[in-house]
Amino acid sequence: MSDVHSGVRKYDPPEGESTFSDPPHADRTPPRLNAQNSSRLWIGILVLCLLALTLLSFGLGGYPLGPVTVIRVLASRFVTIPVTWPQTAATVILDVRLPRILAALVVGAALSSSGAAYQTMMRNPLVSPEILGVAAGAGFGASLGILLGFSASVLQVMAFAFGLLAAVASLAIGRVVGSVSPIVLVLGGVVVGAMFGALISATQYFANPDTTLPEITFWLFGSLGRATNGGLVAPAVIVGVCLAALYAVRWQLTVLATGEDEARTLGIDRRVVRTVVIGASTLMTATVVSVAGIVGWVGLVVPHLARSFVGPSFGRLLTVSALIGAGFLLAVDDVARSATTQDLPLGILTALIGAPFFVALLVRAGRQWL
Partner 1 sequence: MNEARQAGRRDGRISVEIDRLSFSYGRDGHRLVDVSLAVREGEVCALLGPNGAGKTTLLRCLLGLLTPAGGDIRVLGTDVSRLSARQLARLVAYVPQSATTPFPFTALDMAVMGRTPHISVTSAPSAADRRAALAQLEHLGIGHLAHRAFSLLSGGERQLTLLARALVQEAPVLILDEPTSALDYGNEVRFLDVVAELVRTGRAVLMTTHQPSHALTHADRAILMRGGAIVADGSPEDVVTSDRLSDLYGVPIHVAQVPLPGGHGRTQRTCFPVPSRAEPRSA
Residues of this chain that bind partner 1 (CB under 8 A):
1, 3-5, 7-9, 11, 13, 16-22, 25, 28-29, 32, 35-36, 120, 123-125, 182, 248-252, 254-255, 257-259, 261-262, 264-269, 307, 311-313, 315, 368-369
Kindly tell me which of 62 and 267 has the beta carbon lying closer to partner 1.
267
**Closer CB to partner 1, 4 or 79, in the complex:** 4
Looking at residue 96, what DSSP letter applies?
I
Nearer to partner 1, 1 or 79 (CB): 1
Residue 237 near residue 213, CB atoms below 8 Å: no
Q: Which residue lies nearer to partner 1 by CB, 9 or 363?
A: 9
- What is the C-alpha separation between 313 and 307, in angstroms, rounded? 8
Report the nearest approach of partner 1 to the CB of residue 7 (Å).
Answer: 6
Neighbours of 327 (CB within 10 A): 25
Residue 213, H or E segment: helix 212-221
Minimum distance from CB of 257 to partner 1 (Å)?
A: 6
Q: Given the complex with partner 1, which of 122 and 236 has the nearer CB atom?
A: 122
Q: H-helix or E-strand containing 360?
A: helix 346-369
CB of 141 to partner 1, least distance (A): 31
Q: Which residues contact 250 (CB under 8 A, 6 or more apart)?
A: 313, 314, 315, 318
354 vs 61: CA distance, rounded Å: 24
Residue 20 CB, nearest distance to partner 1 (Å)? 4
Tell me how far, at minimum, the Cβ of 110 lies from partner 1, in Å. Answer: 21
Tell me the C-alpha to C-alpha distance, in Å, between residue 159 and each of 135, 136, 164, 165, 189. 9, 9, 9, 10, 17
Is 97 or 307 the residue whose CB approaches partner 1 more closely?
A: 307
Closer to partner 1 at the Cβ: 35 or 241?
A: 35
d(Cα 63, Cα 320) in Å, to the nearest integer? 32
Dist CA 289 CA 137 (whole Å)? 10
**73/268 with CB nearer partner 1:** 268
In whole angstroms, the minimum distance from the beta carbon of 42 to partner 1 comes to 16
- Distance between CA 277 and CA 115 in Å, rounded? 11
Nearest to 230 by CA among 180, 186, 291: 291
Q: How far is the CB of 31 from partner 1 (least distance, A)?
A: 9
Helix axes 229-248, 152-177, angle to 10 degrees: 30
How near is the Cβ of 368 to partner 1 at its closest, in Å? Answer: 7
- Asked if 252 contacts 262 with a C-beta cutoff of 8 angstroms, the reply is no
